[in-house]
Amino acid sequence: MSNSQIETYEARIAALEHRLRAFEGRLAPPVSRTPVTEYAERYGLLVAWGLLILLLGWYRPDQMFAWNSYATMFGSTAMIVVLTLGLIIPLTTGDFDLSVASTMGLSSMLIAYWNVRMGWGIEQAILMALVVGAVIGAINALFILWFGIHSLIVTLGTGYFLNGVILWVSNSGPISGVSMDLVRAVILTRFLGIPLSFWYAVTLTAVIWYVFQHTALGRRLLFVGRGREVARLSGVNVVQVRAGALIASGTIAALAGVIYTGMRGAADPSSALAFLLPAFAAAFLGSTTLYPGRFNAPGAFVAVFFLSTGIMGLNFLGVPSFVQNLFYGGGLVVAVSISQLIRKRRPMD
């Protein structure tokens, strides 16, 4: 599909959306945005991140203003970035994938099992784990698209099923002793003082940003998310796009499992589930910045580290660990609320 065809589809979809809203009596009046408002919407989270660092640094300057604190945080949070990037792909098409954390956990456990207990090479174990992630995404797509079951139900069930598989494979216990080649490639080797895991996340962010912003595939994903029926009438293969998004989500979640295993040098049967809420919070919070009103990779990247900075600062202040759940849970509710407000203000963006 050429760029001219894509532009034609985009104009046609905008016109059809306008007519549909007018017909249904829901056409919102145009909202004028001043340059200040536009700037605040795009860069507000970045400003808030800076203010958060200053605020926490007022109480713990020796820790909050130390480069080592951020180098450690960037490396240890990279797999949440990767997990969130996988999540925003189906979210863009209007599907939820609640199985991403379980897929990450299964990928981690399979790598450890195959490498430690079966004696497989680490490269082979990683490759097979990525294939398993893609298969999980395909299974989700089958039930969602072929049987017409809502994505929330399918992926919730898939997630619980995968948790059972993890406990079965691991015999409900951790597996340690993963090849040091993976550990060195993820956390021990540093560039500019930051573990390589962070740079993997940066690279994946750049790739997904490019796909979303500069390719026909990215525009199809956005069209489907705006309105599946409108996209279908415009010639977009909605089923194919949604299936591809779910498969990509499963594969990237498995990649997050690879990074997670390399960070720990082991696999734990239950720890990965704790990252589902942070990933969703970051995905929705990221949709309020840089490209407001849509799920986007750079926004998700910033949102992950904004939330992680808050958690790090709370830890430095000695706040009890349960506050992390309050922080992430509250952040998710606030992020979804702001995202919805911005979407209403940008009906045609």
Full domain range(s) for residue 101: 37-345
The answer to the question of residue 9 being in a domain is no
Share of the chain above pLDDT 90, in %: 56
Which tokens hold the place of 126?
Answer: 């990683």
What is the pLDDT at residue 293?
81
CA 260/CA 8 separation, integer angstroms: 43
What is the pLDDT at residue 20?
45
Question: 190 forms bridges with which residues in the sheet?
Answer: 195
The answer to the question of residue 58 being in a domain is yes
The answer to the question of residue 17 being in a domain is no
The SS3 assignment for 99 reads: coil
State phi, psi for 266 to the nearest 5 degrees: -160, 175
Alpha-carbon torsion 127, 131, 132, 136, what sign? positive
The answer to the question of residue 238 being in a domain is yes
User: Per residue in 105-129, pLDDT tens?
Assistant: 999 999 999 999 999 999 999 999 9
CATH number at residue 280: 1.10.3470
User: Per residue in 54-64, pLDDT tens?
Assistant: 988 898 888 88
Where do runs of H (alpha helix) occur along 287-321?
Answer: 297-316
Q: Indicate if the pLDDT at residue 341 is higher than 60.
A: yes
- 172 sits in which H/E element: none
The answer to the question of residue 16 being in a domain is no
Task: Please answer whether residues 311 and 260 qualify as being in contact, where contact means their C-beta atoms are separated by less than 8 angstroms.
Answer: no
Cα angle value 146/154/232 (rounded, 5°): 40
Task: Please answer whether residues 291 and 345 qualify as being in contact, where contact means their C-beta atoms are separated by less than 8 angstroms.
Answer: no
Task: Please answer whether residues 241 and 224 qualify as being in contact, where contact means their C-beta atoms are separated by less than 8 angstroms.
Answer: yes
The answer to the question of residue 11 being in a domain is no
Per-chain mean pLDDT for the chain: 86
Number of domains in the chain: 1
The answer to the question of residue 170 being in a domain is yes
CA 81/CA 305 separation, integer angstroms: 8
Task: Please answer whether residues 255 and 130 qualify as being in contact, where contact means their C-beta atoms are separated by less than 8 angstroms.
Answer: yes
What is the pLDDT at residue 290?
83
CA 179/CA 174 separation, integer angstroms: 15
Q: What is the mean pLDDT of residues 277-300?
A: 89
Residues written for the chain: 349
Confidence band, pLDDT 50/70/90 cuts, at residue 320: confident
What is the pLDDT at residue 288?
85
Which tokens hold the place of 196?
Answer: 């390589």
The answer to the question of residue 25 being in a domain is no
Which stretch of 5-9, 132-136, 240-244 has the lowest confidence by average pLDDT?
5-9
What is the pLDDT at residue 26?
43
